[in-house]
Structure 1
Amino acid sequence: MKTTGNTILITGGGSGIGRELARELHALGNTVIVAGRTSASLNETIKDRDGMHARTLDVTNAEDIARFAAELVKDFPALNTLFNNAGIMAKEDWLADPVDLTITENTITTNVLGPMRLTAALITHLRAQPVARVVNVTSGLAFVPLAHTPAYSASKAAMHAWTQSLRYLLQDTNVEMIELAPPGVRTDLTPGQSTREVYMPLKDFIAETMESFSIEDTPDEVAVERAKMLRSAEREGRFDQTFKMLNDSYQG
């Protein structure tokens, strides 16, 4: 993957993985646009960094995605890289009577429909670039689900399958499809996650991920060593054991 001279859009760029990837890629000599709902956090990401830009975007709103995409390609005609990073994760109570689907539906809308709609809005533009790529941020939970957050796990499994499908459909174009599957990382994705030692330090995750991106022939799936334990569980015949360990140790 070419890591310099790109024009890159990163959704969910106001915090966590999105913010740190944006800063690292900008430091390598890329123009980076971060997008998200909250302008204050986006402005904190780009503070004092020439060549970084912030745009507000609600990935749950189809009309806002269409507006955003049209303005983006007009203002940044060299855009050639999309990171679908925005996402939410929350516990669900499937023992309630009745079951409240608010979290479920919000998760699917944000984590699945959002990136699908945004990619659809930008894919014609990306195909017209000399070299382009779409990086979909999934999760190790796409391969071994966390039962307490079933919609989140399902959404990431869906994004894994969708990425594989688009990789095949776009194989004769100049658009490269990459999946980035993090393990649990110390961010504010869920309450308390940023301070729990069981999660991977954000700085370490970014450093190991950037090593993979710097390889000229970047793997179709980028996963740090800690994520590979989940990625390979079924293939290595230890899915049931890993599933039980993951869910029995959950501290949400």
Structure 2
Amino acid sequence: MKSTNNTILIAGGTAGIGFEVAKLLTEKGNHVIITGRDQKRLDTAVAKLDNVTGILFDTTQEIEVDRLVSRIAADFPALNVVINNAGLVYTYDVLAGEKSWEKAADEMNTNYISLIRLTEKLLPQLIKQEEAALVNVSSIVAIAPGLRFLTYSASKAAVHSYTQGLRLALKATNVKVFELMPPLVNTDFSKEIGGAENGIPPLQVATEFFEAFKNDTYEIHVGGTAQVYELARTSPLVALNAMNGVEA
């Protein structure tokens, strides 16, 4: 995939992985559109970047999706890359009677259903371009679920499955389909699940993503994800235990 002169939408680009990816891509000569649900955070992120447009946007609201798609068609007809990075995670004890189905519904809506909706509505514009790409951000827990965030893990496993099928469906088109699969990352998003203590820097995720993107490496296993992925191929149970600190 070409690495410069792209017009790129990052859904969820005001902080963490999304922000670092936006920063790197703008530095490489791309125009980046970042979205966020909080105007103050959006304005703060835009002020730190060059060649960027900020749009207030909630990916879970269909009316806002339609408004965004219409604006992009009108103002950014050259859009050729979409990075689905918006996410939601809850941490809880699945055995503690905390109404996990309600948390799962929120996570599935944000992490999976909304991703499908935005993707489907923007695909006609992407297909028009000479070269285009979709990037879906999943997680290491799509391979080996974490017990403290079990339903989040399930939502990311759904993203992984959907991305694989979409890549096959779009094989005959000009749209390349990437999956970015980070491990634990040191961001505010991951603070509750140990990101501050054990996570890799978001800049590392952005850097490894960029190298894979320009080399057409469609499944991007950042940092320790690569080791977990290989372990899961030979022994899913060992990978699951290792993810959760359980001795065999």
TM tier relative to shorter chain? over 0.9
* 1:69-108 to 2 correspondences below 5 Å: 69-97=69-97, 99-108=99-108
Say whether the 8 Å CA contact 1:131–1:175 is kept in structure 2.
Answer: yes
- In structure 2, the partner of 1:222 is 220
Distance between the aligned counterparts of 1:174 and 1:92, measured in 2?
Answer: 42
Q: Quick one: which amino acid aligns to residue 78 of structure 1?
A: A
Q: Deviation at 1:152? A: 0.9
Q: Quick one: which amino acid aligns to residue 30 of structure 2?
A: N
Q: Quick one: which amino acid aligns to residue 66 of structure 2?
A: A
- In structure 2, the partner of 1:19 is 19
Q: Quick one: which amino acid aligns to residue 187 of structure 1?
A: T
Distance between the aligned counterparts of 1:134 and 1:98, measured in 2?
Answer: 35
- In structure 2, the partner of 1:168 is 168
**Normalised TM-score (structure 1):** 0.91
Distance between the aligned counterparts of 2:118 and 2:21, measured in 1?
Answer: 19
Say whether the 8 Å CA contact 1:6–1:81 is kept in structure 2.
Answer: yes
Q: Quick one: which amino acid aligns to residue 141 of structure 1?
A: V
Distance between the aligned counterparts of 1:204 and 1:48, measured in 2?
Answer: 19
Q: Deviation at 1:201? A: 2.0
Q: Deviation at 1:209? A: 2.5
Query: In the TM superposition, what whole-angstrom CA distance separates every residue of 1:27-66 from its partner, at most 9, and x where no partner exists?
Result: 0000100011012212222215442000011111112111
Q: Quick one: which amino acid aligns to residue 221 of structure 1?
A: E
1:232 is paired with a residue whose SS is helix
| Structure 2 unaligned regions, length at least 5 | none
Match of 2:242 among 234, 241, 245: 245
Q: Deviation at 1:136? A: 0.3
Distance between the aligned counterparts of 1:97 and 1:203, measured in 2?
Answer: 37
Distance between the aligned counterparts of 2:24 and 2:15, measured in 1?
Answer: 13
2:8 is paired with a residue whose SS is strand
- In structure 2, the partner of 1:208 is 208
Distance between the aligned counterparts of 1:48 and 1:186, measured in 2?
Answer: 19
Change (3 A) 1:98 1:23: closer
Distance between the aligned counterparts of 1:167 and 1:210, measured in 2?
Answer: 19
Say whether the 8 Å CA contact 1:144–1:233 is kept in structure 2.
Answer: no
Normalized per residue, the structure richer in helix is: 2
Taking only the aligned residue pairs, the percentage that are identical comes to 35
Query: In the TM superposition, what whole-angstrom CA distance separates every residue of 1:5-27 from its partner, at most 9, and x where no partner exists?
Result: 00000011011000000010000
- In structure 2, the partner of 1:58 is 58
- In structure 2, the partner of 1:2 is 2
| Mean CA deviation greater in 97-106 or 47-56 | 97-106
Query: In the TM superposition, what whole-angstrom CA distance separates every residue of 1:54-100 from its partner, at most 9, and x where no partner exists?
Result: 00111111121111111122110100000000101111343244735
- In structure 2, the partner of 1:195 is 196
Say whether the 8 Å CA contact 2:12–2:34 is kept in structure 1.
Answer: yes
Change (3 A) 1:150 1:6: same
- In structure 1, the partner of 2:149 is 149
Say whether the 8 Å CA contact 2:16–2:202 is kept in structure 1.
Answer: yes
1:18 is paired with a residue whose SS is helix
CA RMSD of aligned residues (A): 1.7
Say whether the 8 Å CA contact 1:39–1:54 is kept in structure 2.
Answer: no
| Mean CA deviation greater in 89-98 or 198-207 | 89-98
1:2 is paired with a residue whose SS is coil
Q: Quick one: which amino acid aligns to residue 46 of structure 1?
A: V
